[in-house]
Chain A
C-alpha cells in the first residue's frame, strides 16, 4: 500500500473523530502541561534557594509523582473509550481489505500524531504557564521573585519521556484490542446484545453497611489521634461502599421501583427506570470513579484551602506574642527584652507569667499521674496548664479573686466537667467558676491532646501542686530521687509584641539569635532557660508548607476535576450512540419530541448529578473526621473549614453544571440526529 496513504488516513481519522478525539487531546495536552509545571517548580532554584525551600520542593515533588501516576491511569482509561467507539470503524477497514498490520500502522500513526500534538503543545502550554505559576507560588509563600525565565532540559526530557511511554502503552492496548478481535466482531462491537442485569441484594446490603460504617466512624470518632488512623479506615469503607452501591445497589433499587407497578407504568418513569437499569450496568463503575474522584477533589481543595486560610489564626494561637521566651526564666526574658530595646525596637505589649505545664491522666474528675487501668483512648491523656491568680489577673486585666483551695477552670479541649470539685495530683480543689478566658500560651494550646487551663489562688499553691505531681511519679518509680526544686515543672513565659510588621519581626529574629548566642557564652552572667520564638520567623515554615499544600491542592483539584469531567463526557457520548436507536423507536411508537427531550434530560441529569450528589453526601459525613484530622495540624477554626468545604463544593458544582449543559446539548444532538 502507498506509504502516504497511512499518514493521510491517520490524519483524516483524527479530524473525523474530533468530537471524541478532541477532548482526549485537550486533556492530554493539559496533563502534560501540568506535569511539566509541577516538575519544573519542584526544581526551580528561585524557590529552592529560599528559606525552607526544601519543604516546598518535597511537597511539589510529591505532587509531581501523583500527577505522573494519575496521568498513566487517566490517559489509558479515557483512550479505552475511544478504542471501544472506533471498533466498528476498524472492522470496516478490515472488511474493506486492510490487513491487521495495516490497521496497526494506521493506528500507530494516529497515536504518534496524538502523542506529538499532546507533548509539543503540552510542553508549550507548560512553559508558557510555568512563569505564571512560579509567580503565584512565590507570592503565596512570600518569597522574593527572581526575574528571568527558568527552563530545564531535564524537566522537558522527563516530561516528554513519561508521556511518550504512556502513549506507547496506549498504542499497545489499542493493538491488543484490534488483534484479538475478528472483523465481524469488530463490526458488531457496538451491538453486543445485553442481558438485563440481576439485582444483587447481598452486595447492595454489604455496600450499604460499608458506607454506614464509614459514616459512623467519621461521626463518632472524637479522639484526635485515633482520627488519623480511622480516617483511612473510613475512606476505604466509603470507597468500597460507593462501588458496591453504585453497581449492585442502584440496580437493586431500580428493580424495586420496577416492581411497583403504580410507579413504573407512568410515562415519566417507564422509560427512565428500564433505561437506567442498563445504564447502571455499563456505567456504575465509571460513575463510582467520578464520585470518588469528586470527593477527593473536595477533600483536597477544602482541606488545603482551610489550612491556608486558617494559617494566621493557627499562628496566632501557636505564637500569641511576636517574640517570646518559652519554658524560660526571668533572666532570659530580661535579656531578650534588653536586646530588643537596645536594637531600637519599640515594645508595644508584653506579658510575663509563671506557669506549670504538666501531662496527666484524667479519669472523671480526677487528674493524676497514674495511668488508668484500662486506658481506652487518648482522650484520657491530657495536658494541664496552671497559673496563679496574680499573673492571670495581670495578663488578662481581670479582677478575679480566689479563696484558698478554689480554682478557675477553662476547658480548652476535652470533655465537660460537671462536678463542683476536681482532684489534681491528689489535691482536691473547688471549681469556683468555669471561664472562657485563658492566658495566651503557645505550646500546649496547639497540641493535639485535650487541654485544661487552671488558675490557682497563689504561687504557693502552684508550688505545692508541682511537688504533688512529682511525688505521684516518685511513688511509682522507686529509682527516682526525692523532690528537689530542679525537678520543678514551673517555668516562666515572657512575650513581647513589637511595633512594625513582618520585616521587623524578621529583624528581631536576627537580633535575638545573636543575643542568645552571646548569652550562651561562658561568663555572660545570664542563665539561659527555655527557647525563643519569633512569630514572623516561624511563619515562614507554615507558609512554605501550607502554601505548598494549598497550591498542590488547587492544582491537583483542577486536574482531577478535568478527569472527572472528561470521563463523564465520554460516558454520555458513548451512551448517546446507544440511545439513539431506542429513542427513534419510541418516537415511532408515539412518543413526542418533547417527551423524548424531557426523558433525555432527566436521564442525563440523573447520570450526571448522581455522582456529584453522592460526593456531597460523602463530604457532609466526612466533615467531622476531617475537622479532627485538621486539628492534628493545629487548625481549629470550624467556621473557616465549613466555608472552605462549601466554597469548594460550590465551585465544583458550578464547573460541573457548565459541563453538564454542554454535554446535554451534544448528547441531544447525537440522539435526535
Chain B
C-alpha cells in the first residue's frame, strides 16, 4: 500500500518585489510504500530541506501535490494542520529540538499531552518505547544532563509515541559522534523492521546505507534512486558512494 505519494512537486521562492525567483524544487515525483525505509540524499542546497518541509506541511508547494494515505495535504485546513502533524507524522531533527524546560519523559509526552491524552495511557505507551530506545533509566533527566545520542533517542521516542504513519527524519545523525550515529541507525533499522515507515533526509553516506531505498536529488530535481535489493549495508554504501561521485562529476541522472 502506498503511504506517501509525491506528484510533480515544485517550489519557487520569490524574492521581494518579484525579483530573484529561485527554484528550490522542480517536478519531483516519487512514492513511499507502507513499511519502507527511504533515504533522500543530496548536497547542501539541493532542495532536501525544502522537500522535507513540504512533506511535513510546514511549507506549501508551488506546483504539484503531496498525498498522505491518499489525502492531499493541501486540503487540510490551517487549523487542523497541527493536529494532523501530531497524529500522522513523527519528526526527528538534526539538533534534537528537545525542550530544556522538560525532562526527557515530559519531552516525549509532549505530543500526547497536546493531543489531550491522560497520564495513564501516556505512561503505558512510553514504557515499551523507552525500553526499546534504552532510555528507561534516564527518563527523569533533563536534556542538558544527557549525551547527544541519548537526546536523539529521546527525540525518536517522542516522534514514534503517537504511532505516526510516517517518521520524517532530517539529518538525524548530523550532530552525533560516529558511535552514537551507528547506534541510532541500528535503532531506525529495528523500528523499520517492526513496520514503521521512515523517510530520512541525510547527506551521510553511512546513514543512508541503512535505508531500503535511496533517492538522490540534485539542484531541486530527482536525479537517481537505488534500491537495496539483497545488498548488505557495505555494498549499499559502495553503491551510494559511486552515485555521489557521479553526481559530483556532473553525470546525467537516470532511473
Contacts and interface: CB of A to CB of B under 8 A. Distances in A.
A200 interface: no
Interface in A574-621: 582, 585-595
Contacts of B86: 589-590
A590 B122 contact: no
A270 B110 contact: yes
Interface in B99-147: 99-102, 106, 109-111, 113-116, 118-119, 122, 142, 144
Interface stretch (B8-16, B77-85, B205-213): B77-85
A588 B99 contact: no
B143 to A, nearest CB: 9
Contact of B110 (A194, A266, A586, A592): A586
Contacts of B113: 265-267, 270
Interface in A263-294: 265-267, 270, 274-275, 277-278
Contacts of A588: 58, 91, 93, 97
Interface in A244-276: 261-262, 265-267, 270, 274-275
B65 interface: no
Please classify how large the interface on chain A is, using the bins under 10, 10 to 19, 20 to 34, 35 or more: 20 to 34
A16 interface: no
Contact of A595 (B106, B111, B114): B114
Contacts of B83: 590, 592
B101 A277 contact: yes
A264 to B, nearest CB: 8
B158 interface: yes
A193 B106 CA distance: 18
B85 A265 contact: no
B79 A265 contact: no
15 contacts: A194-B100, A195-B144, A196-B142, A265-B119, A265-B122, A267-B113, A267-B116, A270-B113, A275-B101, A582-B101, A585-B97, A588-B93, A590-B115, A591-B114, A592-B81
B91 A589 contact: yes
Interface string B88-99: 000101000111
A114 to B, nearest CB: 33
A265 B111 contact: no
Contacts of B109: 265, 270
A274 B106 contact: yes
A345 B100 CA distance: 83
B99 A590 contact: no
Interface of A: 193-196, 261-262, 265-267, 270, 274-275, 277-278, 582, 585-595
A591 B86 CA distance: 8
Nearest to A196: B142
Nearest to A273: B101
B4 to A, nearest CB: 18
Contacts of A582: 99-101
Contacts of A593: 78, 82
A589 B87 CA distance: 10
A589 B114 contact: yes
Contacts of A592: 79, 81-83
Contacts of B114: 267, 270, 586, 589-591, 595
Contacts of A590: 82-83, 85-87, 111, 114-115
A589 B118 CA distance: 18
Contacts of A275: 101
B116 A262 contact: no
Nearest to B109: A265
Contacts of B118: 265
Contacts of A193: 100, 144
A589 B56 CA distance: 11
A267 B116 CA distance: 6
B144 A589 contact: no
A208 B28 CA distance: 65
Which 8 residue pairs spanning A and B have beta carbons closest together?
A590-B86, A592-B82, A274-B101, A585-B97, A261-B119, A193-B144, A270-B113, A265-B119
Given A194-B100, A593-B78, A593-B82, 14 more contacts: A196-B101, A262-B119, A266-B113, A270-B106, A274-B99, A582-B99, A582-B100, A586-B99, A586-B114, A588-B91, A589-B158, A590-B86, A592-B82, A592-B83
Contacts of A585: 97-99
Contacts of A196: 101, 142
Nearest to A578: B100
Nearest to A261: B119
A585 B100 CA distance: 11
Interface string B55-81: 000100000000000000000001101
Contacts of A194: 100, 144
Nearest to A269: B113
B82 to A, nearest CB: 3
Contact of A589 (B78, B110, B116, B119): B110
B21 to A, nearest CB: 24
A275 B87 CA distance: 24
A585 B97 CA distance: 6
A97 to B, nearest CB: 27
Nearest to B84: A590
A340 B47 CA distance: 102
B86 to A, nearest CB: 3
Contacts of B102: 274
Contacts of A270: 106, 109-110, 113-114
Contacts of B115: 590
A594 B77 CA distance: 13
A353 B106 CA distance: 82
Given A265-B118, A587-B82, A590-B83, A278 B101 contact: yes
A275 B115 CA distance: 19
A396 B121 CA distance: 82
Contacts of A195: 142, 144
A587 B57 CA distance: 12
Contacts of B93: 588
Contacts of A274: 99, 101-102, 106
Contacts of B106: 270, 274
B177 to A, nearest CB: 19
A269 B93 CA distance: 26
Contacts of B101: 196, 274-275, 277-278, 582
Contacts of A278: 100-101
B111 A589 contact: yes
Q: Quick one: which of A195, A196, A590 has the most chain B CB within 10 A?
A: A590
